[in-house]
């Protein structure tokens, strides 16, 4: 299989708006736009090869809440979209894939309900991603509101690999939304412990994070890309430049 590396813009949805949270705190929200479809088109027009969309309300409530918005985003784009947030049953996973998403991201279900993860990978091969959101090596669930799962991130990743997940989105909650820089060394170490390619998430501050992640990929690290959110919205990272770096040009 050919190894690929992407920079992936993120759209986090809350009450139908584009927002970003600081360290997963729902009380620390920054609003970036009222038209998620227009935002999605913007990232595609600026060179994105994939889009990352999260239903934050769904993640917190345990069920999809932004279905119509996500379907509209998928219809508007020609690039693949990966979607997470509130996907805890086979029906909800099927619904988001039927709505046009290429991939469904399972977070809480991947940790708390291995049977759902196994069934999803069997029913939708090549289309299931595990979302592992961690603080201090322990996995948080329920939209990061519940940290009582106390499961080790590597153990969850190995279970995802055995199930057949195509990728893992690995988020460092303490860095997410901070623009303090991605925890790349820790992520590379985590990625070496299992076979599923890892997408770096949390804290991306600018082009140097993309450059460093691509360099690690070139050295053989088990990485598949990097997700960028606040840095893009605040202008610290220009997507066209990031795409250039993600291709290994100018690194």
Residue 251 placed within a domain = no
pLDDT reported for residue 178: 55
3-state secondary structure of 199: strand
Do residues 87 and 45 lie in contact, with contact meaning Cβ atoms separated by under 8 Å?
no
Residue 192 placed within a domain = yes
Residue 94 placed within a domain = yes
Ordered alpha helix ranges (H), 84-218: 90-98, 108-112, 114-123, 153-163, 184-191, 207-218
Residue 92 placed within a domain = yes
Structure tokens at 196: 């599923």
Beta strand pairing call for 198-201 and 138-139: unpaired
- CATH number of the domain within which 229 lies: 3.20.20.70
Residue 75 placed within a domain = yes
Backbone CA torsion sign across 75, 229, 3, 242: positive
How long is the chain? 251
How far, in Å, are 25, 86, 142, 158, 224 from residue 163 at the CA level?
31, 20, 21, 9, 19
pLDDT reported for residue 28: 63
Report the domain count for the chain. 1
State which residues form the domain around 147: 6-246
d(CA 143, CA 4): 28
Residue 133 placed within a domain = yes
- Our answer to whether residue 208 is catalytic in this structure is no
Which is the catalytic residue, given 133, 172, 176, 209? 133
pLDDT reported for residue 1: 64
Which is the catalytic residue, given 12, 55, 172, 209? 12
Residue 1 placed within a domain = no
- Our answer to whether residue 133 is catalytic in this structure is yes
Q: In tens digits, what is the pLDDT along the chain, a chain of 251 residues? A: 689 999 999 999 998 888 877 655 565 668 888 999 999 999 999 999 999 999 988 887 877 888 999 999 999 999 999 999 999 999 999 999 999 999 999 998 888 899 999 999 999 999 999 999 877 656 765 444 444 456 788 999 999 999 999 999 998 876 655 567 888 999 999 999 999 999 999 889 999 999 999 999 999 999 999 999 999 999 999 999 999 999 998 65
């Amino acid at each position: 299989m050919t190894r690929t590396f992407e920079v992936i813009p993120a759209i986090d949805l809350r009450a139908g708006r584009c927002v970003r949270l600081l360290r997963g705190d729902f009380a620390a929200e920054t609003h970036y736009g009222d038209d998620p479809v227009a935002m999605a088109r913007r990232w595609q027009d600026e060179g994105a090869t994939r889009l990352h969309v999260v239903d934050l309300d769904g993640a917190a409530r345990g069920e999809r809440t932004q279905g119509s918005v996500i379907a509209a985003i998928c219809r508007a784009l020609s690039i693949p979209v990966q979607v997470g947030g509130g996907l805890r049953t086979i029906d909800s996973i099927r619904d988001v894939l039927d709505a046009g998403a290429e991939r469904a991201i399972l977070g809480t279900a991947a940790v708390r309900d291995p049977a759902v993860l196994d069934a999803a990978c069997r029913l939708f091969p090549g289309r299931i991603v595990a979302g592992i959101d961690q603080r201090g090596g322990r996995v948080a669930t329920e939209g990061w509101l519940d940290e009582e799962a106390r499961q080790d991130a590597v153990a969850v990743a190995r279970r995802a690999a055995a199930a057949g997940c195509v990728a893992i989105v690995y988020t460092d909650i303490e860095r997410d939304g901070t623009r303090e820089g991605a925890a790349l060394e820790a992520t590379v170490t985590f990625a070496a412990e299992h076979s599923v390619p890892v997408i770096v998430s949390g804290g991306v501050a600018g082009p140097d994070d993309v450059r460093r992640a691509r360099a690690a990929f070139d050295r053989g690290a088990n990485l598949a890309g990097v997700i960028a959110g606040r840095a893009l919205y605040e202008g610290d990272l220009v997507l066209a430049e990031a795409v250039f770096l993600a291709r290994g040009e100018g690194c």
